[in-house]
Amino acid sequence: MKMIYPREEVCIACRYCEIYCAIEHSRSKDPVKTFKMESPQPLPRITLMEEGALSFSLQCRHCKEPDCAYACITGAMYKDKESGVVIHDPNRCIGCWTCILACTKGSIRRDESKRVAVKCDLCTHLEVPACVANCPNGALLYLEAV
Amino acid sequence: MKSFLLPEFLVERDENRCIQCKVCITQCGFETHYFDEELGRVMHKEERCVGCQRCAVFCPTNALIIRPHPWNLRPHANWTKERYYDLTKQAETGGVILVGSGTDKPHRIYWDHIVLNASQVTNPSIDPLREPMELRTYLGSKPDALEIKDGELETELPPQVKLETPILFSALSFGAISYQAQESLARAAKEVGILFNTGEGGLPQSLKEYGKYAIVQCASGRFGVDLDYLENSAMIEIKIGQGAKPGIGGHLPGEKVSEIVSRTRMIPKGTDAISPAPQHDIYSIEDLSTLIYALKEATNYKKPVAVKIAAVHNSAAIATGIVRAGADVVVLDGLRGGTGAAPKIIRDNVGIPIELAIAAVDTRLREEGIRNRASVIAAGGIRCSADVIKAIALGADAVYIGTAALVAMGCTLCQKCYTGICNWGICTQDPKLAKRLNPDITTERLVNLVKAWSNEIKEMLGGMGINSVESLRGNRLQLRGIGLADWELKVLGIKGAGE
């Protein structure tokens, strides 16, 4: 499977990854409408981590042994056997946040407005995930997992 | 003291488009934009804006327009807005006004008054897409004559450096520019088969592999100069002057002398790197000759040695002295050449346009019968491939591009290079700003620029019916002047259009 790999040495902490992730997961897919009209606002599923000059964007690693999926009490979080993508089904999520406790990477966020977990879905409907396609400095790569 | 100056730029934020994403805040190193928690929206302090356009380019919804402040003073042809600004600033600070980049004054750009020829009927033009076209250029001293015996060259040639196209990257020193910027220039030079120039900042150990593509500069501060540095190079350049600031030295502030800059320049970390105005061991042509031969001796006569001067009133006479002193290459840097920092008054008022200097030097060297003894590189304000081809037709062997290369990397000529803050990651040592240049991307941008210009040069050569750049060199009959006075045509050695 293909995975997103951050390159901290060229990450410019612009937060494009977060913005374009939110836009991609919006209803309108339009930057202005996403942030000015949509309620509740779609959350980015990627987080820019920053301290001084060090920055990179953190997203779900789609682990081979996903602790979040093992911990999920409703089966909302599961690893798709075929694609290897760790998928979250908001319809089955009860917002217990057990996945957040279990995730060792800190890649899952809470959507308080809907009381469900949100995480990177690798934009499987796109050829290249929105964060990677829109990164202005080549700081996110979409490569075959090693 | 209350400042009487208005901000130089206006920040116009279209609130209907602004999505409060804060990208502008992250991208401005001058801290122009900020988020006001109470108002719950992004605001700005215009007086901090330098007009570099980084925020406007990165705004995902194009909500920002940065434009010069109208400053509606009563219009005055003599006491212009700029004069008023500088006067007021000096009244408030008592200082010399510093500036970066090349002069922005409307000195005559002769390139725009020179047109090229093309073949019609009596000689055929050449299609570079179908026929071979030679741009390869060799820099170095050429012998007076060649002796050939049994089909073999008998004459021993002085050292030559090969360029795949007659373009080189100008001196941009590490310390002034970021590591990423120098790496990009080095990698691009390697990829297109040209050379980059270390400026006077040395070559970091980690970029040593690019030494073969480096012109290593030996300037008045002698920063980073040792035997390894000289030997690991394509060519050595003695820097006497710079077009943007003839007669003026350099000053890299201590804040920019980081650990790696300090190791590369061989000076203590955090100390100012001061390059004296003159080279204190060169007060005459004889002294220059001593240094040229010292460098040649040190490198076993394997490297061509260039001498770079700012184009000034008596450049032609100086150039003959340089050639007679033993230089293999003469570099002329014109009035419009760039800099990381210079007093504005010097940048805008000292030196002569490169076009006139090339013609004057080429003419003088030919008259004295020594033109073959040195190549001539022209620098300072080469903006496009037509400027390159006109410079070559006027008599240059190749050109240096500095500002054009910077623009290819992202520079928007905001002229704030001297502040140490560069939002485009070029002229800074701040690790957070410097990583904005991804050398993979920047190298590609530079390579694209050189390839695009090379293709255009081939097209123009083909139009003239010339299949080798060598045949254009000093071929001033391919040029005509428009709107130039007799003295200008005479100095340029070209006819007026229609003549």
Domain boundaries, chain B: 9-95, 137-496
Q: What is the pLDDT of residue B72?
A: 85
User: Is the domain of A33 the same as that of A17?
Assistant: yes
Contact A15 B21 (CB under 8 A): yes
Contact A13 B21 (CB under 8 A): no
User: Is the domain of A51 the same as that of A80?
Assistant: no
- B196 residue type, one letter: F
Write out the two tokens for B376: 């001539």
User: Is the domain of A109 the same as that of A138?
Assistant: no
Question: At B187, which helix (H) or strand (E)?
Answer: helix B179-192
* Residue in B19, B26, B441 closest to A137 by CB: B441
Of 2.130.10.10, 3.20.20.70, 1.10.3720.10, 3.30.565.10, the CATH number of B137-496 is 3.20.20.70
Residue A145 pLDDT > 90: no
User: Is the domain of A128 the same as that of A99?
Assistant: no
For chain A, where are the E strands, in sequence order? 2-6, 47-51, 54-58, 77-79, 86-88, 109-111, 116-118, 140-144
Instruction: Find, in chain A, the residue whose alpha carbon is nearest to that of B180.
Output: A10
Contact A53 B431 (CB under 8 A): yes
User: Is the domain of A55 the same as that of A39?
Assistant: yes
Contact B19 A34 (CB under 8 A): yes
Mark B213-251 as b/e (b = at least 16 C-beta within 10 Å). Answer: bbbbbbbbbbbbbeeebbebbbbbbbbbbbbbbbebbbb
- Burial (0-12, 13-18, 19+ Cβ within 10 Å), B439: buried
Chain A residues with beta carbon closer than 8 angstroms to that of B21: 15, 19, 35
Q: What is the pLDDT of residue B168?
A: 98
Contact A36 B19 (CB under 8 A): yes
For CA atoms B369, B370, B371, B377, give the dihedral sign.
Answer: negative
Is B27 in CB contact (< 8 Å) with chain A? yes
Cα gap B259→B263, rounded to integer Å: 6
Chain A residues with beta carbon closer than 8 angstroms to that of B431: 52-53
Question: Which residue, among B13, B21, B54, B445, would best test binding to A if mutated, counting the most A CBs under 10 Å from its CB?
Answer: B21
Alpha carbon B482 to its chain centroid, in Å, reads 26
- A101 residue type, one letter: L
Is B441 in CB contact (< 8 Å) with chain A? yes
**Domain around A10:** 1-59+123-146
Question: At B407, which helix (H) or strand (E)?
Answer: helix B403-409
- A41 residue type, one letter: Q
- How would CATH label the architecture of B9-95? 2-Layer Sandwich (3.30)
User: Is the domain of A4 the same as that of A24?
Assistant: yes
Q: Please, which contacts does B2-6 make with residues 24 or more away whose CB atoms are closer than 8 Å? A: B3/B88, B3/B92, B4/B88, B4/B92, B5/B85, B5/B88, B5/B89, B5/B92, B6/B69, B6/B71
Instruction: Find, in chain A, the residue whose alpha carbon is nearest to that of B438.
Output: A10
Instruction: Find, in chain B, the residue whose alpha carbon is nearest to that of A13.
Output: B26
Contact B26 A53 (CB under 8 A): no
Contact B23 A14 (CB under 8 A): yes
User: Is the domain of A1 the same as that of A45?
Assistant: yes
Contact B436 A12 (CB under 8 A): yes
Cα gap A56→B332, rounded to integer Å: 45
Residue A146 pLDDT > 80: no
User: Is the domain of A72 the same as that of A92?
Assistant: yes
User: Is the domain of A7 the same as that of A38?
Assistant: yes
Running DSSP on this structure, what letter comes out for residue B168? E
What CATH number corresponds to the domain at position A14?
3.30.70.20
**Please, what is the average pLDDT of chain A?**
95
Q: Based on the structure, what is the number of domains in chain A?
A: 2
User: Is the domain of A73 the same as that of A26?
Assistant: no
- Burial (0-12, 13-18, 19+ Cβ within 10 Å), A84: middle
Instruction: Find, in chain A, the residue whose alpha carbon is nearest to that of B63.
Output: A32
pLDDT tens digits in sequence order for chain B, 499 residues long: 999 999 999 999 999 999 999 999 999 999 999 999 999 999 999 999 999 999 999 999 999 999 999 988 899 999 999 999 999 999 999 999 999 999 999 999 999 999 999 999 999 999 999 999 999 999 999 999 999 999 999 999 999 999 999 999 999 999 999 999 999 999 999 999 999 999 999 999 999 999 999 999 999 999 999 999 999 999 999 999 999 999 999 999 999 999 999 999 999 999 999 999 999 999 999 999 999 999 999 999 999 999 999 999 999 999 999 999 999 999 999 999 999 999 999 999 999 999 999 999 999 999 999 999 999 999 999 999 999 999 999 999 999 999 999 999 999 999 999 999 999 999 999 999 999 999 999 999 999 999 999 999 999 999 999 999 999 999 999 999 999 999 999 999 999 999 9
Q: Where are the alpha helices (DSSP H) in B255-401?
A: 259-265, 285-298, 315-324, 344-349, 354-367, 385-394
Average pLDDT score over residue span A51-74: 96
Q: What is the pLDDT of residue B13?
A: 98
Q: Where are the alpha helices (DSSP H) in B76-127?
A: 81-93
Q: What is the pLDDT of residue A127?
A: 96
User: Is the domain of A104 the same as that of A141?
Assistant: no
Instruction: Find, in chain B, the residue whose alpha carbon is nearest to that of A140.
Output: B438
* Residue in A31, A53, A136 closest to B435 by CB: A53
Contact B432 A52 (CB under 8 A): yes
B255 contacts B215 by C-beta, under 8 angstroms: no
Contact A136 B17 (CB under 8 A): no
User: Is the domain of A19 the same as that of A54?
Assistant: yes
Contact B23 A15 (CB under 8 A): yes
Q: What is the pLDDT of residue A105?
A: 93
The ipTM is: 0.94
For CA atoms B469, B474, B479, B483, give the dihedral sign.
Answer: positive
